[in-house]
Structure 1
C-alpha cells in the first residue's frame, strides 16, 4: 500500500546546443528537441513508482491516468499541481479509490458528475 503519490513533470533536452553556449555565443540555427518526463513518486519512500516519457506538446494531465495504471498497489492520496485538475484525472483517481490532493486551476468551475463515478462519490 502507498500512503501518498506526488506527480510532476520535468523537461529534458534530447538534442541541440546547450543554453550556456547559446547565451555565450548567440543563438544557434539548430532546432532543440525536448521531451517531458512524467513521474509518480511515493511520498513516504521517495521511490519512483511510475514514469512515462512524452513529447513536449503533451499536456501533463493526459499522462496521469497512464501513470496510475502502472501500479497495482493501493494508493491512499494522490497529489499534483493545478495542471492535474481535470475530469480525466479526477476520474482516474476515483477509479483507484484514492483521495485527490490537487488545487483547483485558476479558471476552475464546478462540473456535474455523471454515471457510475457520481454514485461512488
Structure 2
C-alpha cells in the first residue's frame, strides 16, 4: 500500500470573479489523501480534507478504511509520526516510511 496526498484548488464562481474582476479573496484549497495498491495501482481508499489537516492526521482514517490484508505501507517522511506508527503497529502492518528531516530517536516501543 502506498499513501500520499495532494492539494486541490476549488474552482467555482470565485475563480470566475477573480478572472473577470481581479483578486478579491483567498483561494480555497482541499487535500486529497490516497491509499493505492502498489501492484495493481488501484485506489484502495481516499479521503478529502481541509487544507489544514496534516498528512499524518489523515493517515489513521485511511488505514481504517482498508478492508483487505495489508503487509506493508509505504509513505513519505510526513508520515513519520508516532500517530502513524501506532496505527500501523495496531494493524500489524510493516512501515516503509523514511525518517523526517531532523528526526530524533524515539525511546521505548519505537526503537
For the criterion TM > 0.5, the same-fold answer is: yes
Which position in structure 2 is the counterpart of 1:14?
10
Which position in structure 2 is the counterpart of 1:32?
27
For structure 1, which runs of at least 5 residues remain unmatched after alignment?
none
For structure 2, which runs of at least 5 residues remain unmatched after alignment?
none
Per-residue CA deviations over 1:85-121 (Å, capped at 9, x if unaligned) read 00000111111211111110112111123xxxx3xx8
Q: Which piece of structure 1 moves more, 8-17 or 70-79?
A: 8-17
After TM superposition, which residue ranges in structure 1, 4 or more long, deviate above 4 angstroms? Answer: none
Which position in structure 2 is the counterpart of 1:102?
97
Per-residue CA deviations over 1:13-62 (Å, capped at 9, x if unaligned) read 114438xx86xx9x612321000000000001111111111100111110
The equivalent position to 1:51 in structure 2, one of 42, 46, 53, is 46
Cα shift at 1:72 = 2.3
Report the TM-score when normalising by structure 2.
0.86
| Corresponding residue pairs, total | 107
Please tell me whether residue 62 in structure 1 is matched to residue 57 in structure 2.
Answer: yes
Q: CA RMSD in A?
A: 2.1
SS at match of 1:75: coil
User: As a proportion of its length, which structure holds more strand?
Assistant: 1
